[in-house]
């Protein structure tokens, strides 16, 4: 470790972390509630359940829609859960409404589980589907065609009748682009097996017609739609499970197709596509070539950092007066915070501070616009520092607890920045203060396993979503949290001209402290997000941080680390957390200087804060300028609901 032969450690780590073969599905499990409702009787069931039998015209319309979604047979069923399981249809279930009866006649409840791994496989492990290449494509200008919005009555979904046609018009090009990436320039769609998310019969019919597929190609998808309805993201697990059971029943490998494709559709409209070769098929050359070219040449590294805050600044010693005239606070370690919410906004939306009025929809409407805009400010700073065209961004990870709608903040930010429609997006929701750390680990994996990948991480939070009138149980949080956005660009070798690594990311770990699920968390209510923060959190972190770090550093060969020989980027969850870590690890006071400075200047901005700490740390390093005095190795820490500890071993590339 400090003073060790770094290159050997990093090279060994890279060689051992890459798998020997492509990822593969190793196991699939599915489940549904016990309650079954047959499709030909669903309209009667639904209108009876909602006590709306008097709406006869709407009921007759729903009966016609249910038949169009899938023809009524004795085996057609939709599983509906109303009380025993919190599934999607419960969260968006409502009384009859002209704009929603299509969705109510389509969606069902279910759960799916898939285990994925890559070689070397252990004894007994059997790959069901190999996964060679995945792509994500957003159809431009379709943000309003398919989506969801959190309201005081649950989740309100909207589904345009144009969705099947929009998918039809774009599916061919999307698939051609995907298959060309594995060297197939002229695929014959009928020479593939198909696992298509059955969003509805019209979607399957349109895909089948556009690609001129033989009727049997979508048999698994149609069967799942018939038996279960559309279970949203769960459904693809059922389709893969049905597909593998059909394959097992056929039993003759020579009759089975060598290559296949998986398709799923979501808000955006987003098309997820994956090339699936059959395990054991003669695809070794293609797969080996893909594996050799997709891995990066070195460890992932932070290439650029950008931060942003709202214009409104509240100094900490006046925050209590600002908030509700309570006693002034001066022991928090915070000097000031940036907060989007101001008196003008309260005047325009008085329901925000009226606990007797629902305000969730108001808050969601505001943050849906303002969170991506704040993230854009930080992202543009990072992109300028990075120095490459924005079109070179291949992946986007967005972490926020402030977003409660779909299309979500990741797609909105991609549009604001004019990222490519094929950028691969991931949204992390409600990870709280550990969201930035989680995003960094995902970015590391993406950068190192996808050659030339450049991952933009964006974290943005507005406390507006959880702002409330004074309450004894919440004043600690209100005196701690602030608003901000952070952006980090991550990539791995080969680096382009002008790219300069700020922090190499050698190894990451995630640890959950057992039995702490109720110590730190968030809950969506009619008045926004209600957070709870136990006074035991600093002590729980203190009691577990040493072992967590020891386990992490042992993974890179350091069995006896000296904590004061490292640089530290710790999420400043509060002064008590920093004090407890410093005391437990016997750190020198200067070790947490960057974290304490960020806490003082900005407060706790949840998952965003770690970007500010890394930015402060690198600026201190640049200011010192004396390279031989800089520590080679460091650690990043972030904490979130669970209690979850995100840890990452960092290396200073300038040391």
Q: Which residue is it, tokens 């957070």?
A: 531
Strand partners, 396: 425, 456
At residue 358, φ and ψ (nearest 5 deg) are -70, 135
Residue with token string 């991480």: 457
Q: Which long-range contacts (CB under 8 A, 24 or more apart) does 168-174 make?
A: 168/206, 168/207, 168/209, 168/210, 170/137, 170/139, 170/271, 171/207, 171/210, 171/211, 171/263, 171/271, 172/210, 172/211, 174/135, 174/137, 174/271, 174/273
Our answer to whether residue 433 is catalytic in this structure is: yes
Supply the DSSP symbol for 562: -
b or e along 253-284 (b: 16 or more beta carbons within 10 Å of the residue's beta carbon)? eeeebebbbbbbbbbbbbbbbbbbbbeebebe
Q: Of these residues, 92, 174, 433, 466, which one is catalytic?
A: 433
CA distance linking residue 52 with residue 124, whole number of Å: 54
Structure tokens at 638: 């972030």
CA-nearest of 422, 442, 391, 414 to 134 is 422
Neighbour order of strands in the sheet with 154-159 = 154-159, 146-151, 405-406
d(CA 589, CA 108) in angstroms, rounded, equals 56
Instruction: With beta carbons less than 8 A apart as the criterion, state whether 340 and 310 touch.
Output: yes
Q: Give me the phi and psi of 460, to 5 degrees please.
A: -150, 135
Q: Nearest 5 degrees, angle CA 34-CA 109-CA 237?
A: 105
Q: How far apart are CA 82 and CA 92, in angstroms?
A: 11
Active centre residues (catalytic): 433
């Amino acid at each position: 470790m400090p003073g060790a032969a770094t290159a050997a450690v990093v090279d060994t780590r890279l060689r051992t972390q890459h798998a020997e073969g492509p990822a593969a599905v190793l196991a699939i499990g599915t489940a549904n509630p016990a309650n079954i409702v047959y499709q030909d009787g669903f309209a009667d069931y639904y209108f009876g359940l909602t006590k709306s039998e008097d709406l006869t015209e709407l009921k007759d319309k729903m009966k016609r829609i249910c038949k169009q979604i899938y023809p009524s047979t004795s085996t057609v069923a939709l599983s509906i859960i109303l009380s025993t399981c919190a599934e999607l249809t419960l969260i968006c279930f409502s009384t009859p409404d002209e704009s929603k009866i299509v969705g109510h006649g389509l969606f069902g409840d279910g759960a799916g589980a898939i285990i994925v791994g890559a070689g070397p496989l252990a004894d007994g492990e059997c790959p069901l589907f190999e996964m060679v290449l995945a792509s994500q494509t957003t159809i431009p200008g379709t943000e309003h065609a398919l989506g969801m919005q959190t309201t005081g009555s649950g989740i309100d979904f909207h589904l345009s009748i144009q969705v099947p046609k929009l998918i039809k018009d774009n599916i061919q090009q999307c698939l051609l682009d995907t298959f060309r990436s594995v060297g197939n320039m002229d695929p014959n769609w009928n020479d593939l097996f198909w696992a298509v998310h059955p969003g509805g019969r019209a979607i399957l019919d349109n895909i089948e017609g556009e690609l001129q597929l033989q009727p049997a190609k979508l048999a698994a998808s149609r069967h799942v739609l018939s038996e279960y309805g559309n279970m949203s993201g769960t459904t693809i697990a059922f389709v893969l499970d049905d597909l593998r059971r059909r394959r097992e029943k056929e039993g003759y490998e020579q009759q089975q197709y060598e290559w296949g494709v998986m398709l799923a559709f979501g808000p955006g409209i987003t098309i997820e596509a994956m090339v699936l070769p059959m395990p054991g098929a003669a695809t070794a050359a293609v797969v080996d070539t893909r594996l050799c070219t997709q891995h990066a040449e070195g460890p992932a590294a932070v290439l650029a950092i950008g931060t942003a805050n709202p214009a409104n600044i509240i100094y900490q010693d006046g925050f209590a007066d600002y908030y509700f005239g309570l006693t002034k606070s001066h022991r928090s370690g915070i000097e000031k915070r940036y907060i989007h919410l101001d008196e003008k906004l309260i005047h325009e939306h008085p329901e925000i501070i009226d606990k007797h009025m629902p305000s969730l929809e108001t808050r969601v409407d505001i943050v849906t616009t303002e969170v991506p805009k704040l993230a854009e400010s930080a992202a543009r700073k990072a992109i300028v520092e990075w120095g490459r065209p924005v079109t070179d961004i291949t992946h986007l990870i967005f972490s926020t607890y402030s977003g409660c709608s779909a299309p979500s903040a990741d797609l909105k930010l991609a549009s604001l920045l004019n990222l490519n429609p094929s950028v691969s997006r991931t949204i992390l929701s409600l990870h709280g203060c550990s969201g930035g750390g989680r995003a960094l680990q995902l970015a590391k994996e993406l950068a190192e396993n996808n050659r030339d990948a450049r991952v933009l991480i964006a974290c943005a939070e507005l406390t507006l979503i959880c702002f409330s009138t004074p309450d004894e149980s919440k004043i600690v949080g209100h005196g701690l949290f602030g608003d901000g956005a952070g952006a980090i660009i991550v990539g791995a070798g080969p680096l382009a001209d002008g790219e300069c690594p700020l922090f190499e990311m050698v190894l990451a770990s995630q640890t959950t402290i057992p039995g702490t699920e109720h110590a730190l968390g968030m809950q969506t209510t009619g008045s926004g997000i209600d957070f709870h923060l136990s006074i035991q959190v600093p002590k729980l972190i203190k009691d577990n941080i040493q072992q967590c770090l020891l386990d992490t550093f042992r993974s890179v060969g350091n069995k006896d680390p000296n904590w004061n020989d490292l640089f530290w980027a710790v999420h400043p969850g509060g002064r008590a957390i920093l004090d407890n870590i410093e005391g437990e690890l016997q750190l020198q006071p200067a070790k947490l200087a960057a974290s304490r400075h960020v806490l003082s200047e900005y407060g706790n901005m949840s998952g965003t804060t770690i970007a500010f700490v890394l930015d402060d740390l690198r600026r201190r390093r640049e200011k010192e300028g004396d390279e031989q005095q800089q520590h080679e190795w460091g650690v990043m820490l972030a904490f979130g609901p669970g209690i979850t500890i995100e840890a990452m071993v960092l290396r200073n590339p300038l040391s």
